Chain A
Amino acid sequence: MSKKILLSGNEAIAQGALDAGCYFYAGYPITPQNELISYMAANMPKAGGVFIQAESELAAINMVFGASATGTRAMTSSSSPGMSLKQEGISYIAGTQLPAVIVNIMRGGPGLGNITPAQSDYFQATRGGGHGDYHCIVLAPSTVQEAHDLMPLSFDLADKYRNPIIVLGDGMLGQMMEPIFVMRHASRVARKRITKKWALTGCKERNPNVIKSLYLKEGALEKLNLLLQKKYKIIKEKEQRYESLHLDTAEVIIVAYGIMARIAKAAVNKLRAKGKKVGLIRPITLWPFPETLITQILSGLHKKKHSPLFLVVEMSYGQMLEDVKLAVNGKAKVEFLGRAGGGIPTEEEIISKIKRIGG
């Protein structure tokens, strides 16, 4: 463990990627993720890697495609409007089953929107975002430390499943500084060129490799899709991640992620101090959504008299709410508190909402 340093979320993500052995970064400036690209420009060459300021988000994601095709750990980052542009490349990365890490430091939308923090790209991130039947694994840090720590995990998951990973933060997480411990991840030592037998390296002493997502022969594309679905099923079974608080006694369970979750946590702590039976689920993976946990909570109901009430709090208008409702499947009441476009639900708003719904 090395010493504590003060970093912004954007910088911590970049440092986390470098610690994970990321060897290639391409990006295009967009607020509020600019500190990330600047950090990469300053530090990627020092780490012996390649940094490119691309001509567009489209070019950047396709550069990531190219770098990843050679077996290199590669990433890009952007914010909401830029993420819309990247969807083409992400679909190709999913179709060719290349590992890649894509960071979205969300801002207000739709359109040019504004640069305030928001969580309005939840659907885009968790539903695929581009064309075709695919999923990205979506990880949502809620502190600067976690923003750093999720990067090595992201690259490991990307390589393990040969799948695009989206790290979903927001403008506030990207901009804010917190003291963090920077770990030197083990994979950094063995980085640069982890041998991947499918990678494009030149066909020396082996048959040529081809990276493609085009399947014209009858049935061939369906076969690929079935393969992807099988992979997604395994990911859903194995990779659901969350943090939880007071679930055993909670009568109201708040579900919130990212920055919103830390605000919710502060509200939970205040309410608990007053004896209110409130708990928290903070999904760390948004896809796969931690639905198993919710199913378990609801299936253990026979021990309790009443089913808990769920309160979904988002900086968007009912996006994660759908996943919670799908997981709850009508077995409990699901309430909602959300603001977007610059509005952030406050501790006080959460507390008064809970009072209103009878917590």
Chain B
Amino acid sequence: MLIEKIFWIVRSSRTFDSLKAFCNSPNMEEKIIIAGAGGQGIMLLGKVLAEAAMRKNKFITWLPAYGAEVRGGTAYCMIIISDKEIGSPYIHKADTLIIMNNLSLEKFKNRIKKNGLMLINASFIKNDLLISPKMLKYSFTDIAKNMGNIKVANMIALGSYLANRKILDTQTVIKAIEEMTPPEKKYLIEINKEALLAGKKLTLSAHEALTGA
């Protein structure tokens, strides 16, 4: 499994160079589409990201799929994080796609900008399709299962995203998770934090292995 991950990292190694420029830009605008099946915590993943970005005083829009569109099919949300006012919250071409199941890959595979970042849930997506040179595959759901809660696959994906796109620091995201969690679910904070860090490590360790850092 690790070999596979590194393989993808190798193919997308340019990610890390371009990221530095991306993060320092005063005119940052990141358009993210997150998609998967109902129950995979797609909307929540997006909301955590939006809540964290809000704490950094970014302009943010979060647009969900709604109504009949989400019945039994794919769930998705579109998030724009920007240093300037945002026009349409609808995303035609995304900077980043986070795709958690096969159906969503079919639906959104053409909605990525050239050289955009794709994070793919390898637990459900087995094909070898290469859409973007920056296409990273991790078994988010399997890792979550091993951690003891299949539902935190979304936070692992978020952690991995944060490692790849350094627009937000982990502490801010953790703070957002803590503040968003209702009192009766406080016991879930710890595993979500762990999942986030595990996701971050996925990318970082691959990067370290790669660069020898």
Contact = CB atoms under 8 A, between A and B. Distances in A.
A266 B51 CA distance: 24
A77 to B, nearest CB: 16
A32 B70 CA distance: 13
Contact of A172 (B67, B86, B89): B89
Contacts of B62: 6, 176-178
Nearest to A179: B54
Contact of B47 (A6, A171, A262, A267): A6
Interface in B50-64: 50-51, 54, 59-64
Do most interface residues of chain B lie in helix, strand or loop, or is the interface mixed? mixed
Contacts of B89: 172, 176
Contacts, number: 61
A315 B55 CA distance: 33
A43 to B, nearest CB: 15
B92 interface: yes
A80 to B, nearest CB: 13
A179 B87 contact: no
B85 interface: yes
Interface in A23-58: 31-32
B66 A115 contact: yes
Contact of B88 (A115, A178, A263): A263
Contact of A32 (B67, B86, B90): B67
Contacts of B66: 31-32, 115, 171, 175
A175 B69 CA distance: 13
Interface string B83-97: 001111110100000
Most chain A beta-carbon contacts within 10 A, residue among B47, B86, B92: B86
A259 B89 CA distance: 9
Interface in B18-69: 47, 50-51, 54, 59-64, 66-69
Given A115-B66, A175-B66, A178-B61, A6 B51 contact: yes
Contacts of A262: 85-88
Given A262-B88, A265-B87, A267-B87, A6 B50 contact: yes
Contacts of A115: 66-69
B68 A175 contact: no
Contacts of A267: 87
Contact of A176 (B63, B67, B87, B92): B63
A58 to B, nearest CB: 22
Contacts of B59: 178
B12 to A, nearest CB: 28
B54 A266 contact: no
A6 B88 contact: no
Interface string A250-266: 00000000010011011
Interface string A167-193: 000011001111100000000000000
Contacts of A265: 85, 87
Contacts of B86: 262, 266
Contact of B54 (A6, A31, A347): A6
Most chain B beta-carbon contacts within 10 A, residue among A31, A175, A266, A267: A175
18 contacts: A6-B50, A6-B60, A32-B66, A115-B66, A171-B66, A172-B89, A176-B61, A176-B62, A176-B63, A177-B50, A177-B63, A259-B88, A262-B85, A262-B86, A263-B87, A344-B88, A344-B90, A346-B88
Interface of B: 47, 50-51, 54, 59-64, 66-69, 85-90, 92
Given A31-B66, A263-B87, 17 more contacts: A6-B47, A6-B54, A32-B66, A32-B67, A115-B67, A172-B63, A172-B89, A176-B62, A176-B64, A177-B63, A178-B60, A178-B61, A178-B62, A265-B85, A265-B87, A266-B85, A344-B88
